[in-house]
């Protein structure tokens, strides 16, 4: 399922751009679902100037999902919100039921649904559950259409995410949680659970029941499924910013964080651009400052006059030539003079943003590559694309068979490829948007030539 994640600088009009993107995509003939994490009613203001739209009636397809029943607001355009409170209460009840034996032994009483208040971070878990549920619903609808059924489901999902720093940490959460679960409940401990009933009788202490292990297993499956969605070629990110003194720097940091987690940016939306050539001195000065920031933003994205559209091929020692990825397109959205309210106001913005393009729903190619330079330099080089990263913001730590990479405020633990696990780190360097980590074979572990 084609999915576009909208994020960017806080206060830059992300929700409005997400709504315009969804509207443009629906007008292009694709059945589109706009999913929002916003609780402040911004979508109600954009789509319904007179007040919120009436809720749609739940159906067999949407009622079990962790989002509100989608409401069709325009031809081929549906809007829904993530139902975080309901999702949290449902998951809490499920965990308490599966851990009932432990709770009874400790003398703990379960939290009733009516007194359950969602905890910080519940939005992230609800969003992950919703992403999976929407994709599952789309797969079922596609199968039904292929069997001759009526057109149902959606072709494109547009997600209105929080500001970039929070969104990037959210996109890295499935991998991080999966790693923590594997550490807390390794495979060998799960394999020994057949002995637990006997151990419980000997010790007189209840041990985690089979249903609790099943809960952990379900969480791991859910996290793996969400990771598979995020890592698909059909999922891209659009960054929104209002050009200003700090916009280029903020977007550069966002691009680096997204690249660290393997997310692909398909466009940057320069929002709320003021008209140029005004006779009013104040407006002319503000527009001039904005145009200067827009130029810097374009150059940072590789689309400015000083940056070539297609750079020369980069040749790596002992390997084929690599053609760098072209720069990120920057789409300009003019300031409408007021906050858009209703489909009539969204129309011009939808024309400026444009519809979502088609992309194959398949696993994305592995972005990290190993270059074999053993013959010439006695090294293996791990190439990590980190578009937007700056040297002073980078930090590397080798920890066993993992490499901990920190870019600014973002961190990711990367498992080393098998060949690099038998090597020692010989150095690293950042060049043309890629971090190259050099590894020298460890004579104690590397196979000797005979």
Tens-binned pLDDT, residue by residue, of the chain (450 aa): 999 999 999 999 999 999 999 999 999 999 999 999 877 677 878 887 644 454 444 443 444 468 888 889 999 999 998 988 888 888 887 777 776 766 666 677 777 777 778 888 888 889 999 999 999 888 888 888 888 877 778 999 999 999 999 999 999 999 998 888 887 776 655 555 554 555 455 555 455 555 666 767 777 888 889 999 999 999 999 999 999 988 888 999 999 999 999 999 999 999 999 999 889 999 999 999 999 999 988 888 874 333 333 333 333 333 333 334 458 899 999 998 888 888 999 999 999 999 999 998 898 888 899 999 999 999 999 999 999 999 999 999 999 999 999 999 999 999 999 999 999 999 999 998 899 999 999 988 887 664
Q: What is the pTM of this model?
A: 0.84
Angle subtended by helix axes 122-146 and 84-98, to nearest 10: 100
Rounded CA gap, 196 and 105, in Å?
Answer: 16
* Exposed/middle/buried for residue 297 (C-beta within 10 Å: 0-12, 13-18, 19+): buried
Which of 222, 1, 286 shows the shortest CA–CA distance to 94? 222
Provide the pLDDT for residue 61.
44
Q: Six-digit token pair at 219?
A: 């969480």
Which pLDDT score is estimated for 209?
53
Q: In the prediction, which pLDDT does 356 show?
A: 95
Sign, Cα dihedral of 31, 37, 39, 45: negative
Closest by alpha carbon to 10, among 272, 250, 265, 329?
Answer: 250
Report which of 234, 73, 233, 70 is spatially closest to residue 152, judged by C-alpha positions: 70
Q: Which residues contact residue 77 at a Cβ distance below 8 angstroms, ignoring those fewer than 6 apart? A: 22, 23, 26, 32, 34
Give me the pLDDT at residue 204, please: 52
Tokens standing for residue 255: 């691009």
SS3 track for 291-338: HHHHHHHHHHCCCCCCCCCCCCCEECCCCCEECCCCCCCEEEEECCCC
Residue 109's pLDDT is: 74
């Amino acid at each position: 399922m084609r999915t576009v994640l909208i994020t960017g600088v806080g206060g830059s009009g992300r929700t409005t751009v997400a709504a315009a993107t969804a509207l443009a995509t629906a007008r292009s003939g694709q059945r589109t679902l706009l999913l929002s994490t916003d609780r402040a009613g911004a979508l109600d203001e954009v789509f319904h100037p007179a007040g919120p739209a009436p809720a749609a009636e739940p159906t067999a397809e949407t009622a079990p999902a962790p989002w509100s029943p989608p409401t069709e607001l325009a031809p081929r355009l549906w809007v829904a919100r993530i139902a975080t409170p309901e999702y949290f209460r449902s998951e809490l009840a499920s965990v308490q039921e599966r851990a009932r034996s432990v709770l009874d032994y400790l003398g703990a009483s379960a939290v009733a649904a009516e007194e359950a208040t969602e905890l910080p971070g519940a939005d992230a878990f609800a969003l992950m559950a919703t992403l999976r549920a929407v994709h599952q619903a789309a797969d079922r609808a596609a199968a039904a259409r292929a069997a001759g059924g009526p057109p149902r489901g959606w072709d494109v999902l547009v997600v209105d995410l929080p500001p970039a720093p929070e969104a990037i940490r959210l996109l890295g959460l499935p991998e991080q949680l999966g790693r923590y679960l594997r550490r807390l409940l390794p495979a060998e401990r799960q394999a020994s659970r057949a002995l637990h009933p006997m151990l419980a009788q000997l010790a007189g202490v209840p041990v985690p029941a089979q249903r609790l292990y099943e809960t952990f297993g379900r969480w791991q499956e859910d996290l793996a499924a969400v990771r598979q969605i995020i890592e698909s070629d059909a999922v891209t990110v659009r960054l929104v910013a209002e050009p200003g003194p700090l916009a280029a720097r903020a977007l550069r940091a966002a691009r680096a964080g997204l690249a660290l987690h393997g997310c692909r940016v398909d466009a940057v939306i320069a929002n709320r651009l003021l008209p140029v050539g005004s006779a009013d001195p104040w407006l002319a000065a503000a527009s001039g400052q904005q145009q200067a920031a827009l130029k810097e933003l374009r150059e940072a994205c590789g689309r400015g006059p000083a940056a070539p559209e297609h750079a020369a091929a980069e040749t790596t020692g002992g390997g084929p030539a690599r053609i760098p990825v072209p720069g990120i397109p920057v789409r300009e959205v003019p300031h409408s003079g007021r906050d858009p309210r209703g489909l009539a106001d969204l129309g011009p913005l939808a024309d400026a943003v444009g519809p979502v393009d088609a992309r194959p729903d398949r696993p994305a190619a592995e972005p990290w590559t190993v270059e074999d330079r053993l013959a010439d330099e006695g090294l293996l080089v791990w190439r990590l694309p980190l578009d937007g990263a700056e040297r002073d913001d980078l930090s590397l730590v080798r920890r066993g068979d993992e490499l901990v990479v920190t870019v600014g405020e973002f961190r990711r633990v990367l498992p080393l490829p098998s060949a690099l696990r038998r090597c020692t780190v010989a150095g690293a360097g950042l060049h043309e948007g890629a971090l190259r980590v050099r590894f020298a074979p460890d004579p104690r572990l590397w196979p000797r030539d005979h």
